[in-house]
């Protein structure tokens, strides 16, 4: 970070989530003046306070991104904003679509307006691959939020705020992710459920997601979308690796665990896309990522950047990682420890 956050004031909206907490851990290494954690989850804030007891430059603010006045008060005198708050589980958004609209779309507009009003230097919004050609409420709401962020750069040009977005794949080990669910199912009933074994997904670790978000904050010049180049994993390979490694811990044979296909959920895709062919026309390729520039502002330049190939970046058209790469990714990032040994011991009798 080279002192980017040193003596700066940072606000993390949705700061008690997986990415928010990882951002906090990383930014604290750069000695910021203050980091404000903004979320509506009182208990998660309490847990975070216990984890970061040794720091006197963290402030904890209870509030909802839907409440503009509260967001604006939280943003007073802030230099940098990370907007990570969202409704993000596909079935929840499908069943409660207007709730997703209020949080993901109207909440993002509140962040934009508060950023402009408070003279924030830079604001980064965390988006998703599901925003590309969306087939569900979650993706559609995130696409609309992306468009609001990009539009803010030119309609808010009278202010000084630089807006940008980062587009994630699935963050392995995040809250509500499939890995601890698989482990729980193995321990409780010796079987796991998958929607479709041939489904493929872009996968990234929490560390990669955090680094991308911070890099986007540092590089952003106005209205861009940053897309990390990330591995693609087939769901069957992930499921088999989790079964094999969890079975070792439970002292059971992997063949005793069945994989049940239950079909796609409402709004769910077989494959995901991180960048469309149309977006690639306006994209710059860097070593670790693509930068999709805003068509309504001057096209920025980046050191080492070159025009991207005019093709979509899809989990269907790219090669999936070998199964052993998936296993190594799980083990090296301690992603199988989220369902801890206590849970294993408690559930073991159900698994034999």
Catalytic residue list: 130
Cβ atoms 186, 351 nearer than 8 A: yes
The CA distance from 218 to 133, in Å, is 28
Distant-in-sequence, close-in-space partners of 269: CB < 8 Å, separation ≥ 6: 130, 135
What 8-state DSSP symbol labels residue 196? -
Q: What is the DSSP string of 216-246?
A: HHHH--SS-EEEE---EEEHHHHHHHHHHHH
Which residues make beta-bridge pairs with 165?
125, 225
Of 295, 267, 95, nearest in space to 195 by CA: 267
The CA distance from 350 to 250, in Å, is 10
The CA distance from 182 to 244, in Å, is 11
Q: Copy the structure tokens of residue 268.
A: 């769910």
CA-based end-to-end distance of the chain: 49
């Amino acid at each position: 970070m080279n002192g980017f956050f040193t003596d700066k004031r940072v606000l993390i909206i949705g700061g008690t989530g997986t990415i928010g907490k990882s951002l906090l851990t990383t930014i604290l290494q750069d000695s910021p003046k203050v980091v404000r954690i903004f979320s509506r989850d009182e208990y998660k804030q309490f847990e975070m306070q216990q984890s970061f007891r040794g720091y006197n430059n963290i402030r904890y603010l209870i509030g909802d991104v839907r409440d503009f006045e509260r967001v604006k008060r939280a943003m007073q005198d802030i230099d940098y904003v990370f907007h990570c708050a969202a409704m993000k589980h596909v079935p929840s958004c499908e069943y409660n679509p207007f709730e997703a609209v209020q949080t993901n779309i109207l909440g993002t507009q509140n962040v934009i307006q508060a950023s402009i009003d408070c003279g924030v230097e830079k604001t980064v919004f965390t988006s998703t691959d599901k925003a590309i050609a969306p087939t569900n409420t979650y993706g559609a709401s995130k696409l609309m939020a992306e468009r609001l962020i990009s539009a803010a750069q030119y309609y808010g040009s009278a202010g000084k705020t630089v807006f940008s977005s980062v587009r994630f794949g699935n963050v392995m080990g995040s809250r509500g992710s499939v890995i601890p669910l698989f482990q729980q199912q193995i321990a409780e009933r010796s079987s796991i459920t998958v929607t479709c074994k041939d489904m493929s997904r872009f996968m990234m670790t929490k560390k990669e997601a955090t680094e991308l978000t911070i890099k986007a904050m540092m590089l952003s010049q106005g209205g861009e979308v940053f897309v990390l180049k990330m591995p693609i994993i087939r769901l069957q390979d992930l499921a088999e690796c989790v079964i094999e490694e969890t079975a070792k811990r439970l002292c059971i044979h992997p063949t005793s665990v069945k994989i049940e296909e239950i079909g796609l959920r409402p709004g769910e895709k077989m494959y995901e896309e991180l960048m469309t062919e149309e977006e690639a026309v306006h994209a710059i390729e860097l070593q670790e990522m693509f930068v999709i520039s805003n068509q309504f502002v001057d096209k920025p330049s980046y050191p080492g950047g070159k025009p991207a190939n005019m093709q979509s970046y899809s989990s269907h058209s790219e090669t999936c990682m070998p199964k052993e790469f998936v296993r190594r990714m799980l083990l090296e990032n301690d992603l199988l420890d989220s369902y801890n040994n206590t849970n294993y011991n408690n559930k073991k009798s159900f698994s034999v």
